[in-house]
Amino acid sequence: MKSQSRPLLTLACMFILLLHGCALTHHPVEKAAIGKPCSSAEMERLIDQPGPITLETINSADWSAPLSGLLNLNSPAAVQAGVTDRDEPVHIYAHLLRHPQYGNYLVDTGVSRKVLNDPGKAGLNWIVQKAMHIDKMHINKSTSEILHGTKLSGVFFSHLHLDHIIGMPDIANDVPLYIGASESTHTTFKHMFVQGATDQLFKDKQPFQEWPFQPDSQHRFEGIVDVFGDGSLFAISVSGHTAGSTAYLVRTTHGPVLLAGDTCITRWGWDHTVEPGDFTEDHAHNLQNLKRLKDLVARHPQIEVRLGHQP
């Protein structure tokens, strides 16, 4: 009787696992050692003033992906415009941020040649390689070339989808890593396919540090963190595309820049207020936070917007 029950127990455990999904990665996570929660009013009092940060956005690689993943083709705006699925040219960016007091940081990681030269060694099995269309990635400037000996004080992630973390092999193991709340621990069925690759890319790296978001007292955003405590850089919780998606508002020497991450991937999506498509976990939540970012830019039209994968 025991021998007959074991297969049933195993199947039941597998069914429960499939039903609930799994976390994105087993990588350790802890509270961020930097950053303090603030309100949208505090942030917006400052952002129109030039700040101390220099920011360079680098097109690390050209790529293409199905438009149905990049843009919600079922949205009323896309349906009315007759937008249909196609292969859409996009870019993979890394943003190099230099603070005169606190050091150099990347926002997202670009692409490492090591990953494209040997995807399997980086943990990307053939299913992931096919799903990512990795054969369509063409490097312009690898992560190591972007850094070119620059000592990093940290990496700020907009989220942990593979196209935002495949520069990790070029990043030193002692560099701190910062993510949005629940980004690495939220469970979903899709994570089962990418967990191995994510684990491998972060193997031997520093633990994730989660931003300490608290509810915005003005209710304009889910939460905001003053990253350095000097009002020069703000992390903004914009969950929806992923559980911990984060945008960054940078007060540069030339004025404010919004790094929207994949809250909006395409220029058409921004212009028509349409969230990403199949690559997004929660469409309603993503759209709500996209509208919040657009409202911020409407209140402060001098903000330069840099989207997830298109100019």
Q: What is the pLDDT of residue 5?
A: 54
The model's pTM is 0.93
Predicted confidence (pLDDT) at residue 6 exceeds the cutoff of 80: no
Averaged pLDDT for residues 279-288: 97
Predicted confidence (pLDDT) at residue 1 exceeds the cutoff of 90: no
Predicted confidence (pLDDT) at residue 17 exceeds the cutoff of 60: no
Split at pLDDT 50, 70, 90, the class of 21 is confident
- C-alpha dihedral (263, 266, 271, 275), degrees to nearest 10: -40
Q: What is the pLDDT of residue 273?
A: 98
Taking only the tens place, the pLDDT of each residue in 212-249 is 999 999 999 999 999 999 999 999 999 999 999 999 99
Taking only the tens place, the pLDDT of each residue in 240-273 is 999 999 999 999 999 999 999 999 999 999 999 9
Averaged pLDDT for residues 66-73: 98
Taking only the tens place, the pLDDT of each residue in 104-131 is 999 999 999 999 999 999 999 999 999 9
Q: What is the pLDDT of residue 7?
A: 52
